[in-house]
Structure 1
Amino acid sequence: MRQRKLKVWSEEDYFNWVRRETPLKEKYFAMYSTVWDAIVTNPNLMTIPFDDHMVHRGDGVFDNSLVVNGKVYLLDEHLDRIIRSATAIGIKIPLDKESMRQIILETIAVTGKRDCMARFWISRGTGGFSVYPDESPIGHFYLIITSSPSYPARYYEEGLNVVTSPFPLRQPFTPQVKSCNYLSNAMMEFFAHNVGADTAIAIDSEGNITEGSNKNVAVVTKDGFFKYPPLEKVLHGTMLKRAIYFAKILKDEGILKDVVSANIPISEAYNSAEMMFFSTTLVVAPIVKYDGVTIGDGKPGPIYKKIREMFKKDMTENDEVLTPVDYD
């Protein structure tokens, strides 16, 4: 068999490739890395060292924040969570919270984009290709500003069709770590799409619902209780916690009877009046069919509609949870 002769690029060959136009610039606007301690705006330069343990072992953590009309939604909550995640698995965080906060705001400002997404990671760091954390003396902080996530309008207006995943999602010691190892999450989506569903929900060993591949879940019972799985079993979703806050307001207004954290067997989910997903990218969306069972009347319910409106107002008017970007 004839051997293929691969071209060996010079630095000039590589830089010529970097200079070429790429359609990625329409969705990837800027990147910061502690490897360079600088911002780049050419997507061809948005790279991570291959010996970073986050690349070859998935040994890192991440988080995201929405930018809405020039303000970052729940930025401090997302920074607190990524710091908790990194600390829980012993990553040596390279920056303090305020430094990360300022880098995020400055990088967003460089793009000039007023509606976008800030995606950030703390990796184990560089140093080799083994599984041993000691190879990395300190972690790295990476940040990319991308276009805002987009989902079909029917998700919000008609609702989602979901199934139970056959894949377990989280190990007992990792539910609060937003890890870069998302193989189980990806397999959940692979399974759901193969059976014609929009997405999937994982269950625990007792048959209680936990969360989606990248979404928290809650139900509204037919007697008016807003219920969500115990937080020790699922990721502490920032949007779920915000939804709990909104649900408590609806309770005070007499619209809901109570807001409770409790195990939710699949049978109870099937028999609920409403089901909802919550995530940073999706925000909130209704589930109208679960494992072929129609939820409620098969349409987005009144509690979902109220919470969605509360989110919209919160994301555009509540300065307590919005961090302005200085574009000047």
Structure 2
Amino acid sequence: MLATRREFLKWTRQGILAIGLFTLLAAPTTLAQSDPLPSWNDTAPKQAIVSFVEKVTRQGSPEFVAEPERIAVFDNDGTLWVEHPMYTQLAFALDRVKTLAPQHPEWQTVQPFKAALDGDMKTLAASGEKGLLEIIMVTHAGMTTDEFQKVVTDWLATARDPKFKRPYTELVYQPMVELLAYLRANGFKTFIVSGGGVEFMRPWTEKAYGVPPEQVVGSSIKTEFKMQDDTPTLRRLPEVNFIDDKAGKPVGINEEIGRRPIAAFGNSDGDLEMLQWTTMAGAPARLGMLVHHTDAEREYAYDRNTDFGRLDKALDAAAITGWTVIDMKADWKQIFKD
């Protein structure tokens, strides 16, 4: 009986060791076979991403990039989430006008506030950047940073996109969420660099994209420190501090990140200079990509002729610089997470 028990334990130990060895040998193969970008079709953009990541992360490769220098920057509107029929932050500002209107009876006759209250988008668009900035200043200032964060969070919890009838934070692009995670898994630090308001984005980007607030670069209004009822606060002022769009994006990257990115992702002419700054630096490996909205059925189709997310000069530049254009209809299996 004792001998039988010894033999049983011997074979058990050998079996455990064999299983453990098999697991160690099999694990790399399993990992290698798993697809980190399942929402992408196996077309040129996906291949370009995987090839780029393999080159810059392979030790001994002439294009190897050390982890601290693996910086990837992403525009937000139209690159990571929907921007039609209007930028989400503009929808927020227009709702804020309606909320604040009882305190401002003069808005019933003063533009661009009258247009905002009447839903007159044509007149509102005609007011141009000046009119839109005026609305932003009035609806985003006059409160502390903590108060503004609560207003944004509360609005996002209840607001619904007019086409998809879903919360805006559910209308993030699943392929790009996978891309962000894939880059981070390979030692990249991912940043959002957007023309949108930095404090409008920071309350929700970590949950939606895995990008923490300190890695969000955006436009801002001025703030001032004040003691309010013996409590230190930062109060938002109705003055522009910085516009993080077009030529402002490389400036924002330099000031806030301090390293030149090796990968940049955008979707409009507002991202042109960011992609130029990233890819035209002469480094061994750089990646520039543009999301082209071509799917009218699952999302929207637009490029050169649109008020929001115009893709014209950057689309022409892509053919010259070698940037990869992502055809949303052809290259993405799905747009949003089910």
Shorter chain as denominator, the TM-score bin is under 0.3
More helix as a share of residues: 2
Give me the TM-score of the superposition, normalised by structure 2. Answer: 0.25
Q: More strand by proportion, 1 or 2?
A: 1
TM-score, scaled relative to structure 1:
0.26
Q: Which has the larger radius of gyration?
A: 2
